[in-house]
Amino acid sequence: MTRPFLAFLAVLAALPAMAQQPSAAAPADCAGCPALALVPPGAFSMGTAPDAAEVDASTGETPPVPVSMTRPFYVSAREITVAEFRRFVEDSGYEPPLGCRVWADGQWVHERDRSWRDPGFATPPADDEPVVCVNWVDARAYAEWLSGKTGRRYRLPSEAEWEYVARGGTSFPRFWGATDSREDTVLSLACDYANVYDATSAAAYELPWPNAHCSDGATGVTATGRYTPNAFGAYDVIGNVREWLQDCYTASYSGRPRDGRAWTWQGGCELKAVRGGSWASRPRDARAAARDAELPMLRQSDLGFRVARDYD
């Protein structure tokens, strides 16, 4: 067997142990650039078995497909923050227009005066909170700016890369446990690892769906890096804000690339893939395999992004 293949097998064998020991973030590529987490190559089953306790067949997460990444890659260790996005705006002159969907009076409503600078929360967004009210085009523009700034190839993660990172070397629905945080769980550990719709949020918002049975003290979006990271050193990969991805959204995995590349096609697509769940997400929607999709021009106060970077 060749040395690369032997190294690949060694990575697969190490994944269970890696899941117990978070890795340190790599240095940022420039002052003000996001800190990076190095993700090792590996293989995993993307999606959910049809007989799993939690599965949403309507989104195409089942049947699962095998995916193999033969090269390592980087992701931003945290979701892109308000401060990081502000540096991009000030340096490039790019400014998203006003207008964002926010939660108000028991529903999502479009407010014309809201933006990433003022997403309608009870207090102004802090520098270390994830930027929200940015659409897919805004996220792509930030990644392209980073590429020009650093000479490295930044981009949005693919849907396969994102799920691989979210699993953190495990095969669990959530990297912190095989069954924890299901909606029938009496006491959940989710509040140690993710900012999802929990007892604290339920007391403040009374959203019309179940909440995780724990309390983390955060009613809505909160500072990045507040919760325990997974084995790849990724924070908030589940919860806090939903994240834009590079892929076009499709109703099944049939035909998608099996090497971790984004699934796109010429001429664009109507919907873009979104993953991760947010502070407003019910437990079953805050899983590694749970899928979502949005119009690429949507700006919403629970929707942000992180970036990926090719390994040189």
CATH number for the domain harbouring residue 144: 3.90.1580.10
Beta strands in the chain (DSSP E): 36-39, 42-46, 65-69, 73-76, 100-104, 107-111, 154-155, 242-248, 272-275, 291-294, 303-304, 308-310
**CB-based contact 222:194 (threshold 8 Å):** no
41 φ/ψ angles, rounded to the nearest 5 degrees: -65, 160
Distance, in Å, from the CA atom of 268 to the CA atom of 32, rounded to the nearest integer, reads 31
Per the structure block, which two tokens stand in for 301?
């106060």
DSSP-assigned letter for residue 300:
B
Across 47-84, b (16+ Cβ under 10 Å) vs e yields bbeeeeebbbeebbbbebbebebeeebbbbbbbbbbeb
Residue type for position 164? Y
Distances (CA, A) of 120 to 94, 125, 133, 180, 192: 21, 9, 10, 32, 26
Cα pseudo-dihedral 169, 174, 178, 180, rounded to 10 = 150
Distance, in Å, from the CA atom of 91 to the CA atom of 93, rounded to the nearest integer, reads 6
Given this model, what pLDDT does residue 57 score? 94
Distance, in Å, from the CA atom of 219 to the CA atom of 252, rounded to the nearest integer, reads 34
Distance, in Å, from the CA atom of 92 to the CA atom of 230, rounded to the nearest integer, reads 33
Given this model, what pLDDT does residue 25 score? 57
Domain that holds residue 241: 3-310
Count CB atoms within 10 A of the CB of residue 149.
17
Given this model, what pLDDT does residue 310 score? 95
Per the structure block, which two tokens stand in for 81?
């923050």
The number of distinct structural domains making up the chain is 1
Report the predicted TM-score, pTM, of the whole model to 2 decimal places.
0.91
pLDDT digits (tens, 9 = 90+) for 141-191: 999 999 999 999 999 999 999 999 999 999 999 999 888 778 888 888 899
* Average pLDDT, consecutive stretches of 10 residues, N- to C-terminus, the chain (312 residues): 37 39 66 95 97 94 96 97 98 97 91 97 95 98 97 98 97 90 85 95 92 94 97 97 97 95 91 96 95 98 97 87
79 φ/ψ angles, rounded to the nearest 5 degrees: -65, 145
Given this model, what pLDDT does residue 190 score? 93
Given this model, what pLDDT does residue 1 score? 42
Burial (Cβ within 10 Å: 0-12, 13-18, ≥19) of residue 139: buried
